[in-house]
Structure 1
C-alpha cells in the first residue's frame, strides 16, 4: 500500500478477455464486491468506453440514507487489458457551490469524489491472467475528505479479486 492507494494482485485461471467481459458488465459488480455495499446495476448496460456513466444501487449502514446510488464514469477502457471508473453522486444543480459539468439523467450535476477503481490485466498464458486491482484516492481534494480513506479494510481488494476469479472461471466454462 502506498499513502493514497491500495493495490492487490492475483493470478486468475481465465483468459484476459473473459475477465475483462465480466468487469465490463455492471450487473456482475455486486458479485465482485467484497464489502456487500454494491447491490445492482441501475442501467443494465455493458461498459463500452471512456466517458460512459453507469449507475449502481448501493447500501451501507453508515450512509445517511442507507440505500443510495453511485454514478460512475468510465475513465479507462482498453479491452482486454485496462478498465477503470470514478465513482460520483448526483447533486442538485448548484449544490455545494460547484458546477460539476456533468449532467445526470434528471439534469442534476454529477460530482466525482476523486477516487478510482482500476483493473489492469496481463495475460500470462492463454488461460491465465494476472489481475491488478488499484483503489486510488490520490486525487480526492483535501477539503473533500469527509471520510477516512480507504473506507474499508485492505482485505476488501483481495476479497474482490477472489470473487472476480470465481465469476471469471464460471464464465470461461460456459
Structure 2
C-alpha cells in the first residue's frame, strides 16, 4: 500500500491511497463524526464528539482534540456532501477538510484526504505555513490513510 501525494492546487495538501473496502463502507465511517477517532492517524482527535451520527449538508459537529499537549474543542460545519463519494467540512478557522471516495471495484476504493487552506485569507495562510501546519497535516493525512488501508485489509 502506497500513499501518494496529489496536486489539488495552491494551499491544498492532499494524499491518496487505494483501500480494500467499498466506497459505501468507507463513507459510513467518514460521514459519522463519532467514528473519526477510528480514522485519525495524527493522534489529535479525541473520542468526545457531539453531533449527528450521519453528516448532512450544513450539519455541525463538535470534536474534542489535543495538540501540543493542550486539549481544545471546536465545532465544524459540513460544506459539501455527496452520498458515497465526498464529505467536506469547514473548521472554525476557515480551512476545510475533504474526503473524496472513488470506487475502483465493488471492494476497492481510491480515498483522497485534503487539508484545504486556500479558503483562508493570505495572511492567515502564511501563519499556517510559519507554524508548519501544511507539513504536520501532510504527515497526519499519510498516517490516517495508511491506518485506514491497513485496517480495511485486516477486516
Range into which the TM-score falls when normalised by the shorter chain: 0.7 to 0.9
RMSD: 2.1
Give structure 1 stretches of 5+ with no counterpart. 89-112
Tell me, in whole angstroms, the C-alpha distance in 1 between the residues paired with 2:68 and 2:42: 12
TM-score by length of 2: 0.82
State the structure with more CA Rg: 1
Structure 1: 4+ residue segments shifted above 6 A: none
Greater percentage in helix: 2
1:117 matched residue in structure 2:
97
The aligned residue for residue 133 of structure 1 is: 113
Length, aligned pairs only: 144
If the length of structure 1 is used for normalisation, what is the TM-score?
0.74
What's 1:47 paired with?
54
Q: 1:17 to 1:53 in 2, by over 3 A?
A: same
Which of these residues, 131, 139, 142, is aligned with residue 155 of structure 1? Answer: 139
Q: Name stretches of at least 5 consecutive residues in structure 2 with no aligned partner.
A: 1-6
Matches within 5 A, 1:9-158: 9-43=16-50, 45-61=52-68, 66-88=70-92, 113-145=93-125, 146-148=127-129, 149-150=133-134, 152=136, 154-158=138-142
Query: Judging changes above 3 Å, is the alpha-carbon distance between structure 1 residues 136 and 153 closer, same or farther for their aligned structure 2 residues?
Result: closer
